[in-house]
Amino acid sequence: MTTFEITEKDAKKMNNKIIQLWRFIMLNLKILKAVDHSKRS
Amino acid sequence: MTNVVVIGSGFAGQTAALYLGAALGKKHNITVINKYDIFGYTPSWVWVGVGQMEPEKTIFKLKPVYDKFHINFVQGTAQSIYVDDQYVLVDSADGGGETKIPYDYLIIATGAKLNFSGTPGLGPHDGYTTSICSLPHAMDSRDRLFEAMARMEKGEKQKIVVGAGHPGATCQGAAFEYLTNIHKVLEKKGLRDKAELLWLSNEPQLGDFGVRGLRVRKGDRMLTSEEFIRAVFELYGIKWQVQTGVRKVEPGKIYWENYDGAEGETEFDFAMLIPQFLGPGFTYYDKEGNDVTGQMANKGGFVLVDAIYGLDWDTLADTPEAWPAVYQNRKYKNIFAAGIAFAPPGSISRPFVNPNGLSITAAPPRTGMISGIIGRIVALNVIDLVKRGRMTHAERMTEMFAACIASMGDSLWDGSAATIVIYPVVPDPRTYPNEEGRDLFVTDMEMGLAGAWMKRMIHTTFMHKLQGRIGWQYIPE
């Protein structure tokens, strides 16, 4: 029995273009934060 | 004039070559030795393997790039390295026999040697499974998958098994992505109900991926990669079997052992299993002609560098400085190893030996971004050594980030991908004194269309960067 499942609501969010644009920006910000550290080494 | 030689032009070698060419190419001799005259963008071979991308879109010719950067290119296979006399013996691809390539600094960035013979019956040549670890392998996988799909169209049920083909295999992320892409392709063609999909892996639990898994904050709770991948598999109707080491493959049958020591077999119609990765396997000679390979590489052929080797796993997990910082051989300080070629000090995931004495342990991943970052660090240090006589760059895998984007279809409109961002790759409990040993802002995993955009963006930007096109150095590895 799983404690986490992907619901229909989640599935809709996964293809909602506005939400996904926000997530795309956030993912890039996260990578940039890590890259910033990496480039300074 | 300094001679710098790079062996290999994958992610690590190509990244190193570009930095070296840009900084030293005009005044010094930079030489790249590679078996093939093309670069292959490995992450997109997953799409080639399901027929979603043309093979030509994943490759480019090396020579025009090297000409632009004043880099010499030798197409051939490096055989042995004379560490005192400082030259590499290369078997030229043009049939011209063996050539000596002298070096002052040597970067070994060969990538992995695919050890299909480590598992009898594994692989596309002498075995019964396929692989996506090289472009010809990915094309062979695609063709065999299409044959399986043709059988499904005739009404036959097919069992598809994807995962790790050796108890010590790595690169589970790529195999996972291949499986989810197969699911998507079958769904699109209306054949999903004709296939049983199975994930077969040496990981200690689902979502481990050879990096000890991860936990991320989702709202008011912590979500583990095990829960996340389990939810994805449940959503897609994919079965799984972890804690399993594949021992042997026969036509239509995979033989394995699990953590309990139990032996079993799994039938298949189509199987893509990642082989064990080995190091380059060069022979090293000193000035007297003695074979000193044992001092230069570990048993797997991986090059020994500035790591602390021989620690037990629990000590290693608490010792971030055991991971190499500059990827330099301790004895021959003009020899570096980048990407998969360097010998890691141990596994990131907890190792396991079953009651029969079989080690079932996911090896640490060092592909893609990790390889590119190490290639840059090593190149910048060689540039430092040539120009200033001292190194100023260092980055351990306990300080390195990686993104694993497992696509599920390639459409930019209705595709999806599981995006996993890990920072650092190897948990560092000292810098991040939480249970995970990782930065909880950066470390993340999610699924959605944004991941499909990320995957496509990374393909496009990396192909641009690795061809040394305008602005290449501003694109992160």
Q: What is the pLDDT of residues B86-125, one digit of tens each?
A: 999 999 988 888 999 999 999 999 999 999 999 999 999 9
Residues across chain A: 41
Has residue A2 got a pLDDT over 70?
no
The partner residue sitting opposite A38, judged by closest CB among B401, B447, B448, is B401
Chain B residues contacting A, CB < 8 Å? 223, 227-228, 230-232, 234-235, 373, 377, 393-395, 399-401, 403, 414, 416, 419, 421, 423, 439, 441-442, 444, 446-451, 453-454, 476-477
For chain B, give the mean pLDDT. 95
pLDDT at res. A1? 46
Contact B244, B258 (CB under 8 A): yes
Residues in chain A with CB shorter than 8 Å from the CB of B454 are 24, 27-28
Contact B118, B359 (CB under 8 A): no
Distance to chain A for B392, nearest Cα, Å:
8
Number of helices followed by number of strands (H, E) in chain B: 10, 24
3-state secondary structure of B331: coil
The partner residue sitting opposite B450, judged by closest CB among A20, A31, A34, is A20
DSSP H or E stretch at residue B215: strand B215-218
Distance to chain A for B401, nearest Cα, Å:
6
Predicted confidence (pLDDT) per residue in A3-41, tens digit: 788 888 888 899 899 999 999 999 899 888 877 776 655
pLDDT at res. B239? 98
pLDDT at res. A6? 84
For the domain spanning B3-114+277-387, the CATH number is: 3.50.50.100
Residues in chain B with CB shorter than 8 Å from the CB of A28 are 454
- Does A12 contact chain B (CB < 8 Å)? no
Q: Answer whether B230 sits within 8 Å of A2, measured CB to CB.
A: yes
Contact B407, B415 (CB under 8 A): yes
pLDDT at res. A39? 62
